[in-house]
Amino acid sequence: MSEPVVSKEHAEMAVADGTRMAAYVARPQQHGPYPGLLLFQEAFGVNHHIRNVAERFAAEEYVVIAPELFHRTAPPGFEAGYTDFPAVMPHLQAVTAETAELDTRGAYEWLRSNPQVRKNDISCIGFCLGGRVSFIANSTVPLRAAVSFYGGGIAPALLDRAAKLHGAMLFVWGGLDKHIPPEQRRAVTDALTAHKKNYVNAEFSRADHGFFCDERSAYEPHSARQAWALALEFLRSERAARSD
């Protein structure tokens, strides 16, 4: 069977604070309409790995937009190597809950205005920094579902947003991840339980932080394959459960 044909392009959109945000877009070549997906980057930019994830989702018949969350402090197309933390830190520290909300709204409205997207069928996924932003996004706009891969900093700073979550959430953690200790992971799920929110909590015991990325030293292929299958099924089943 032939591989699905995917279109790739760059987009730019206005954000409510007067800035302009670049983004990478991947979509099926056929017209659709299709579900939309916000894809939030790691701390290293909308790099080759994030673009590849966008294309993988496009091959699964999503219209995907990966906004550049560092657009206020870095030039368009910014990327840093996975060991170059000094290059990343100033941009990472500039991403606040407030700027993440603004960027979410900008990218969400871009998807909603796209004729190839089903306007009421938009979800999100994010990795590392993007895992935190995925949680913020789900409390900001009416998403069908949201996936957070090893999103650090949700607990304790963002737990007050648990009551505002729109769609069900899938949390994916690495059991060996020292950046997000077990007590923080429990605090996240405890907050969602307290507010009677729907969620799935998955911990991969042999995986470390960043395990999904095959360009990082932490890549763990068995866990990555299982997590990919889980994320696809979670998004599919949540969309089906809430279909109009």
* Residues 3-19: tens digit of each pLDDT: 567 999 999 999 999 99
Domain boundaries, the chain: 6-241
CB neighbours of residue 222 within 10 Å:
11
The per-residue pLDDT for range 103-161, each reduced to its tens digit, is: 999 999 999 999 999 999 999 999 999 999 999 999 999 999 999 999 999 999 999 99
What is the residue-averaged pLDDT of the chain? 96
Q: Which CATH number fits domain 6-241: 3.40.50.2300, 3.40.980.10, 2.60.40.1120, 3.40.50.1820?
A: 3.40.50.1820
The predicted structure's pLDDT at residue 4? 64
pLDDT of residue 56: 97
Active site residue 128: yes
**Quick one: DSSP state of residue 25?**
E
Quote the crossing angle between the two packed helices 97-112 and 129-138, to the nearest 10°: 70
Catalytic pick among 71, 91, 103, 177: 177
Residue type, 91: H
Could you say which of 91, 103, 124, 128 is catalytic?
128
Among 121, 124, 209, 213, the active-site one is 209
Rounded Cα–Cα distance for residues 138 and 228 (Å):
20
Closest C-alpha among 149, 148, 153 to residue 135: 148
> How far is residue 218's CA from residue 207's CA, in Å, rounded to a whole number?
8
First to last CA, the chain: 31
Tokens 């990218």, located at residue: 107
Catalytic (active site) residue 177: yes
Rounded Cα–Cα distance for residues 148 and 144 (Å):
14
pTM (global) more than 0.85: yes
Whose CA is closest to 118, among 79, 144, 154? 144
Mean pLDDT of 194-216: 98
pLDDT, residue 46, reads 98
